Structure formats: structure tokens, C-alpha cells
Structure 1
Amino acid sequence: MASVERDETREQRIETEIVVDAEDKEDRAMGWYYYLDDTLEFPFMGKWKKKSRKTSAIEEKAVEVLGMAPEDDCLKDMYVEVAYIGGKEDDIHSAKLSEIEAIDVDDETQEAIADWLYWLGRGYKF
């Protein structure tokens, strides 16, 4: 069941720009991958909100979002590579884009992330 109301503008963009020629799951995943890779303005600051494995409480970490994770990692969900603020330079992690709250990003980046969250909220699958 969709937890987000249908938005015709987003539906149109998804259908005509993101998954336009997709014939299968992999095509849809790659449509999303390239849309996000082309539209998100990297790097940007964000908060990584994820559940703690030990307590199941939501942990927030300040991160710099560096770019999309490799294509092969994004066949089931969209992942970005992040670095903790103040962390070691080579300490890079993959995070689900849906767990990132973008901070002070341009309108296109905000809209692309909102498109992805809409897709998930509507219950759509690759």
C-alpha cells in the first residue's frame, strides 16, 4: 500500500525521464542510477539516519555525500558513498540514499532525492 499520495508531476518525470525505456528490473535500476548520478550535485552535506543494530534507535551522523556507489551496488536500492565529518580521509561507507537527509543542497538535488523517496513511498519496485 502506498504511503504517499500520487503526484502527477513526479509520475510524469519518472515515466518520461527516469524509467522511460526500461524493460526489466535492471533497466529501471539503471534509469534511476543515471538520473540520480546526473542530477545530484556532489559533494553535499547530509545527515545519515540509520537504525542502530544494537538498540534499534535511530542514529544520526553528519556526513559528506561524495557520489553514487558503484552501479553493481545499486541494482536493488540506490546507494551513495559517504564520509563521516571529521572521520579519516579513507573512511568511506555506502549508505542508502533514502537514509540521507540532504543539507543546504540546490533545488535539482532536493527534487531528485524527493523523487526517489516518492518512488519508495509509493511502493514501486525495480
Structure 2
Amino acid sequence: MAKTKLNAEREHRIEMEIVVDAYTEEECAMSWYCYLEEQLSFPFTASVRKPMDSSPLPTGEHVCVTRLVHEDLCRVGIFVWVRWKERDVVAPLAQIAPLSGDKPTRVAVADWHYWHDQDRSF
């Protein structure tokens, strides 16, 4: 995927507040997990913003995001539990765009999308 345009404010928040003391891949993953755990308010409605090989969710589908998955599963990316077609599914947060939710939730998800869409990894 093409990289998104650099955003100085978001870059500063990510570097100075989220991954500031993360020196290894595992520390980076846990830094992101802790940040999202603190910022996200569940449940919130969302739409699927793009297809991903690791998820059955089609683009444009509406889902209810209910919680983060256990931190042990977020060592390679951030995943959330969503309610879709009367079942619970694990989906990458990079695939989900909030339709509702408070400002901290929307900002935190946008931060993760920005990081992910820059092709950054832990």
C-alpha cells in the first residue's frame, strides 16, 4: 500500500508518547497495545475500510468493535474482536474505521492506521 503523507503532529505523538521507550519489537508492540487499551472505548461501530488477507470482512461492511484481543496475540499487529453477522470475529484494527466512538477512540485508531499505512512494523 502507498505510504500516507507525513503528519508532524501525529509523528510527534507516536514517537514521544507511544513508542518513546520501545527499543525492541516486543516493547514496541506492547507500547502500542497499552496506548490503545487506554484510549479505546468499547463498543463502537465501524466500517471495514479495506480487505485484508487475514480477515473475512469485506470492504464497506459495518461491524461492532467490542474489545482488543489478548495482548499475546498482538505481537505482530493490533487485532480487535468485532461482532459481524451474529458472530464474533478477530480482525486487524488496520482494517476497521470507526463510525462512532469518542474522540480518544477515533484519534487512537487514526494513529494506528497512520503507523500501519506507513508500512511500519514492530
TM bracket, shorter-chain basis = 0.7 to 0.9
Report the aligned-residue RMSD. Answer: 2.4
Between the two proteins, the alignment pairs up a number of residues equal to 120
Amino acid across the alignment from 2:81: E
Deviates more, 1:73-82 or 1:104-113: 104-113
Q: Which amino acid aligns with 2:16?
A: T
Q: Which residue of 1 aligns with 2:46?
A: 46
- Where 1:6 maps in the other structure, the secondary structure is coil
Q: Percent identity?
A: 37
Give the match for residue 80 of structure 1: 80
The runs of 5 or more residues in structure 1 that have no matched partner are: none
Deviation (angstroms), 1:52: 8.4
Q: Report 1:92-103 matches (<5 A).
A: 92-103=88-99
Alignment gaps of 5+ in structure 2: none
* 1:52-67 superposed matches below 5 A: 58-67=58-67
Q: Which residue of 2 aligns with 1:15?
A: 15
TM-score by length of 2: 0.86
Structure-1-length-normalised TM-score = 0.83
What's the secondary structure of 1:46's corresponding residue?
strand
Structure with greater Cα Rg: 1
Query: Deviation at 1:123?
Result: 1.9
As a proportion of its length, which structure holds more strand? 1
Evaluate the alpha carbon distance shift between residue 52 and residue 107 of structure 1 in structure 2; reply closer, same or farther with a 3 A threshold: closer
Contact 2:51 2:95 in 1 (8 A): no
Does 1:106 find its partner at 2:74?
no
Give yes or no for contact 2:47–2:98 (8 Å, CA) kept in 1.
yes
Whether contact under 8 Å (1:52, 1:59) holds in the other structure is: no
Cα distance per residue 1:8-66 (max 9 Å; x no partner): 1111111111111111000000100110111011111112356487xxxx444322111
